[in-house]
């Protein structure tokens, strides 16, 4: 029998991962509009 | 009320703020400011709920509640467990109380924002507070991971709160990338431990590790250091911290710096000292190195900043280093001092960030070079800022004096190298803070400011409450040392008391007496010496033209590219893993 804890483990991680990816992508869309670039090396207004 | 009754209240302390978070965006449809009012009410209610068991817990009782009554069988526990020990409850109470004050401040300062913004803000703010309280009270590694991720998601939204500003988006990108990496590390660590021992409950992990510690367990510990070290902003995982603190509104910076980064320190102390215990002893040396490095590097970077909020943000890196050094001494007085300093830092750093945020909000200026003369225009803010700076500098009778003194004393006895590093960090910290105070508040400024918005009552209440806490905690330090910090340290260092309590439905820790000599000449001279040296360094730095080459090089390493920060972070992980695996 598969370990239900491990399945619960992975499902939770997937759900959290989807949420984080959604936030990440929405930020990337906005960044692309502002900076006209998808290279994260170009996005460095704050440094030091 | 019985212990079981009090323990049954623990899940409610998370449920209340989460309910508030759900209601907030809905309430925004009724009235613009209602979400924040709900936030203040829910955090006050949470504080009361947490205060109910406080008396029992701080006298040494560990309260445990198994959700759904899934009790341990034969020492195995896989259910959701809430537990309050003095260390966890202290952090939870601090979070709830400070959270209420910060939401009240927001209600006053950001009152002009639209309904949608305020609804979202109040929702994310309460969600983050709920996650911090959940982390403080959970007794399960996987639940800790989930709370970490809840806090992370809420912090992403709050960092990017000013969505129309490119800097906010940039900061949000950095915090998302680095925190997601950190969360992955914690997840893999939990998986490694579960696959090795079939255990996720802290008590069960402790018992399993005491019986047998494998190399995989120490690699898991390295991953945990990476994950929570990122959240704590320890060098070299700190790339996100300064940007996130700079880009978000003042009360959010205060929340991040006062409470959220503490989650990292809190979890590291709990995992290294309570859960791993003797099995994780090698990690203390690693944490000592990371702590000393963060303390010095953070302070030096703070000295070189032109942005007021970045000065405070890099100082947070430095202070988190000090806390980690305190916890990794594994000695009762220093761990008591570190717990006490964690509370003090939350109070004075929140105060400083609120001051900085209120200035940025009122003047629209962020750079020290553009500010000046604010003491005349903003006497209340200047007074509050100076109190915060004096507290950081450890000037008696403010609250930083005793807590730093307790950490320094122990290092002086047992870790001379770390002692020197922390003294250097303290001198540079004082220099950085006094430089910022001078440039922003006391320097003469030729141009007058455009009409400054007046200070609203809620802002004054928050400034007053936090400044009063800085002074009060300093004047009657024994209140916190005897009744909160010493029991918390005893729980951290109490061997198997806390883990055994988790598996037995409750337990006890000893409440030791930790003394600190307030009028010892050595302490007072140390403070005097560091303050004089700090002021000298500040004077030298303000007068000189251009930056010293050390500063130029150190700042050049902070390229602003998230790729580089991720590379530093990964390199840190590789070194930490190698160090712990070899130490086994």
* Cβ <8 Å between B167 and A35: no
Structure confidence at residue A38 (pLDDT): 87
Question: What does the alpha-carbon distance between residue B475 and residue B185 come to, in Å, rounded to a whole number?
Answer: 42
Q: Which residues pair with B84 in a beta bridge?
A: B63
pLDDT mean over B510-517: 86
Q: Which residues pair with B429 in a beta bridge?
A: none
Question: What does the alpha-carbon distance between residue B340 and residue B334 come to, in Å, rounded to a whole number?
Answer: 10
Residue B288 has pLDDT above 70, yes or no: yes
User: pLDDT tens, B406-420?
Assistant: 999 999 999 999 999
Residue, of B518 and B423, whose pLDDT is higher? B423
* Cβ <8 Å between B194 and A6: yes
Q: Is B229 helix (H, G, I), strand (E, B) or coil?
A: helix
Per-state percent for chain B, helix, strand, coil, to nearest 5: 75, 5, 20
User: pLDDT tens, B78-92?
Assistant: 889 999 999 999 999
Residue B334 has pLDDT above 80, yes or no: yes
Å between A42 CA and nearest CA of chain B: 8
CB atoms within 10 A of CB B4: 12
Weakest mean pLDDT among B69-73, B92-96, B137-141: B69-73
What separation in angstroms does the CA of B301 have from each of B228, B309, B569?
22, 12, 18
Phi first, then psi: what are they for B82, rounded to 5°?
A: -105, 135
Residue B152 has pLDDT above 70, yes or no: yes
Kindly list the residues from chain A whose CB atom is less than 8 angstroms away from the CB atom of residue B156.
Answer: 20, 23, 27
* Cβ <8 Å between A46 and B247: yes
Structure confidence at residue A2 (pLDDT): 79
* Cβ <8 Å between B166 and A45: yes
Question: What does the alpha-carbon distance between residue B331 and residue A28 come to, in Å, rounded to a whole number?
Answer: 46
* Cβ <8 Å between B170 and A20: no
* Chain A, nearest residue to B552 by Cα: A48
* Cβ <8 Å between A40 and B183: no
Structure confidence at residue B87 (pLDDT): 94
pLDDT mean over B494-515: 88
pLDDT mean over B15-39: 93
Beta strands in B166-310 (DSSP E): none
pLDDT mean over B30-46: 93
pLDDT mean over B16-36: 93
* Chain B, nearest residue to A13 by Cα: B187
Q: pLDDT band for position B370 (50/70/90)?
A: confident
What percent of chain B has pLDDT above 70?
A: 100
Tell me the residues of A at the B interface, defined by beta carbons under 8 Å apart: 5-6, 9, 12-13, 16, 19-20, 23-24, 27-28, 30-31, 34-35, 40-41, 43-48
Half-sphere exposure of B438 toward its Cβ, with a 13 Å CA cutoff?
Answer: 13
The complex scores an ipTM of 0.95
Of B210, B212, B214, B326, the closest CA to residue B274 belongs to: B210
CB B572 within 8 A of CB B181: no
Residues 159-198 of B with CB under 8 A from A: 160, 163, 166-167, 169-173, 176-177, 180, 183, 187, 190-191, 194
Kindly list the residues from chain A whose CB atom is less than 8 angstroms away from the CB atom of residue B163.
Answer: 30
Look up residue B447 and give its two tokens: 């141009």
Residue B175 has pLDDT above 90, yes or no: yes
Query: Mean pLDDT in chain B?
Result: 91
What separation in angstroms does the CA of B172 have from each of B9, B145, B162, B240?
35, 21, 10, 9
Q: pLDDT band for position B349 (50/70/90)?
A: very high
Q: Is B520 on the interface with A (CB under 8 A)?
A: no
Question: What does the alpha-carbon distance between residue B381 and residue B384 come to, in Å, rounded to a whole number?
Answer: 5
* Cβ <8 Å between A41 and B242: no
Å between B509 CA and nearest CA of chain A: 31
Distance between alpha carbon B146 and the CA centroid of its chain, in Å? 18
Which stretch of DSSP H or E encloses residue B81?
A: strand B81-84
Phi first, then psi: what are they for B560, rounded to 5°?
A: 90, -10
Structure confidence at residue B454 (pLDDT): 77
* Cβ <8 Å between A20 and B194: no
Q: pLDDT band for position A1 (50/70/90)?
A: low
Question: What does the alpha-carbon distance between residue B245 and residue B298 come to, in Å, rounded to a whole number?
Answer: 14
For B17-44, the DSSP string reads HHHHHHHHHHHTTT-SSHHHHHHHHHHH
Kindly list the residues from chain B whose CB atom is less than 8 angstroms away from the CB atom of residue A9.
Answer: 142, 190-191, 194
User: pLDDT tens, B452-489?
Assistant: 777 888 888 999 999 999 999 888 888 889 899 999 99
Look up residue B516 and give its two tokens: 């600190």
Handedness of CA B496, B498, B501, B502 (dihedral sign): negative
Kindly list the residues from chain B whose CB atom is less than 8 angstroms away from the CB atom of residue A6.
Answer: 194
Cβ contacts of B416 within 8 Å, gap of 6 or more: none
* Chain B, nearest residue to A16 by Cα: B149
Weakest mean pLDDT among B4-8, B107-111, B165-169, B502-506: B107-111
* Cβ <8 Å between A16 and B558: no
Kindly list the residues from chain A whose CB atom is less than 8 angstroms away from the CB atom of residue B146.
Answer: 12, 16
Kindly list the residues from chain A whose CB atom is less than 8 angstroms away from the CB atom of residue B78.
Answer: 5
**Which member of B169, B183, B190 has the closest CB to residue A31?**
B169
Look up residue B579 and give its two tokens: 């160090």
Cβ contacts of B341 within 8 Å, gap of 6 or more: B319, B322, B323, B326, B400, B403, B404, B406, B407
CB atoms within 10 A of CB B358: 27
Residue B314 has pLDDT above 70, yes or no: yes
Handedness of CA B194, B186, B144, B117 (dihedral sign): negative
Of B66, B122, B58, B124, the closest CA to residue B94 belongs to: B58
Structure confidence at residue A14 (pLDDT): 92
Question: What does the alpha-carbon distance between residue B7 and residue B85 come to, in Å, rounded to a whole number?
Answer: 11
Interface A–B counts its CB contacts (< 8 A) at 86
Q: The whole model's pTM is what?
A: 0.95
Look up residue B105 and give its two tokens: 């401040």
**Which member of A5, A20, A41 has the closest CB to residue B153?**
A20
Å between B219 CA and nearest CA of chain A: 20
Structure confidence at residue B206 (pLDDT): 93
Of B267, B261, B358, B369, the closest CA to residue B317 belongs to: B261
Structure confidence at residue B518 (pLDDT): 82
**Which member of B152, B180, B561 has the closest CB to residue A44?**
B561
Q: pLDDT band for position A3 (50/70/90)?
A: confident
Residue B8 has pLDDT above 70, yes or no: yes
pLDDT mean over B196-219: 91
Of B346, B364, B377, B336, the closest CA to residue B493 belongs to: B336
Structure confidence at residue B78 (pLDDT): 86
Weakest mean pLDDT among B230-239, B367-376, B383-392: B367-376
For an interface test with A, the pick among B140, B143, B144, B170 (most A C-beta atoms closer than 10 Å) comes out as B170
């Amino acid at each position: 029998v598969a370990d239900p804890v491990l399945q619960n483990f992975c499902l939770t991680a997937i759900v959290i991962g989807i949420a984080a990816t959604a936030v990440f992508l929405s930020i990337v869309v906005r960044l692309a509009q502002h900076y006209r670039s998808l290279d994260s090396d170009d996005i460095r207004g704050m440094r030091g | 009320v019985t212990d079981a009754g009090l323990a049954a209240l623990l899940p409610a302390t998370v449920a209340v703020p989460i309910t508030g978070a759900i209601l907030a965006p809905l309430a925004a449809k009724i009235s613009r400011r209602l979400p924040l009012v709900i936030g203040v009410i829910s955090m006050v209610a949470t504080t009361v709920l947490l205060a109910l068991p406080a008396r029992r817990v701080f006298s040494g009782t560990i309260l445990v509640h198994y959700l759904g009554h899934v009790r341990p069988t034969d020492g195995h526990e896989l259910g959701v467990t809430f537990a309050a020990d003095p260390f966890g409850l202290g952090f939870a109470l601090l979070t709830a109380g400070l959270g209420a004050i910060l939401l009240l401040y927001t209600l006053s300062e950001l009152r002009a924002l639209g309904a949608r913004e305020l609804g979202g803000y109040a929702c994310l703010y309460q969600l983050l507070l709920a996650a911090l309280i959940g982390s403080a009270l959970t007794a399960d590694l996987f639940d800790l991971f989930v709370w970490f991720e809840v806090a992370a998601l809420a912090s992403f939204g709050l960092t990017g709160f000013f969505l129309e500003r490119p800097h906010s988006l940039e900061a949000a990108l950095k915090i998302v990338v680095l925190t997601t990496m950190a969360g992955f590390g914690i997840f893999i660590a939990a998986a490694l431990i579960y696959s090795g021992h079939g255990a996720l409950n802290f008590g069960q992990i402790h018992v399993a590790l005491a019986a047998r510690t494998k190399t995989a367990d120490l690699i898991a510990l390295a991953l945990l250091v990476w994950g929570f070290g990122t959240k704590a902003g320890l060098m070299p995982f700190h790339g996100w911290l300064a940007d996130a603190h700079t880009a978000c509104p003042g009360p959010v910076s205060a929340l991040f710096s006062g409470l959220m980064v503490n989650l990292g320190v809190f979890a590291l102390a709990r995992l290294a000292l309570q859960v791993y215990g003797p099995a994780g002893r090698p990690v203390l040396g690693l944490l000592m190195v990371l702590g000393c490095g963060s303390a010095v590097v953070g302070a030096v970077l703070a000295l070189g900043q032109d942005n007021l909020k970045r000065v405070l943000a890099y100082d947070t890196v430095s202070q988190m280093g000090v806390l980690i050094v305190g916890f990794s001494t594994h000695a009762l007085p220093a761990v008591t001092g570190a717990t006490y300093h964690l509370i003090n830092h939350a109070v004075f750093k929140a105060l400083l960030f609120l001051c900085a945020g209120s200035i940025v909000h009122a003047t629209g200026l962020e750079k020290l070079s553009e500010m000046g003369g604010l003491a005349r225009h903003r006497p209340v803010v200047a007074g509050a800022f100076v109190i915060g700076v004096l507290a950081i500098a450890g000037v008696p009778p403010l609250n930083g004096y005793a807590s730093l003194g307790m950490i320094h004393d122990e290092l002086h006895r047992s870790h001379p190298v770390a002692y020197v590093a922390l003294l250097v960090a303290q001198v540079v910290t004082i220099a950085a803070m006094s430089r910022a105070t001078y440039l922003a508040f006391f320097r003469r400024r030729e141009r007058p400011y455009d009409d400054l918005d007046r200070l609203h009552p809620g802002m004054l209440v928050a400034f007053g409450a936090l400044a009063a806490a800085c002074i009060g905690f300093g004047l009657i330090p024994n209140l916190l040392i005897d009744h909160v910090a010493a029991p918390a340290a005893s729980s951290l260092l109490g061997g198997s008391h806390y883990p055994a309590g988790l598996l037995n439905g409750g337990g006890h820790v000893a409440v030791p007496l930790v003394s600190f000599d307030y009028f010892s000449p050595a302490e007072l001279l140390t403070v005097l010496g560091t303050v004089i040296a700090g002021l000298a360094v500040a004077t030298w730095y303000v007068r000189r033209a251009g930056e010293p080459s050390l500063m130029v090089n150190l700042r050049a390493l902070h390229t602003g590219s998230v790729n580089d920060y991720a590379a530093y972070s990964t390199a840190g992980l590789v070194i930490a893993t190698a160090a712990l695996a070899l130490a086994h």
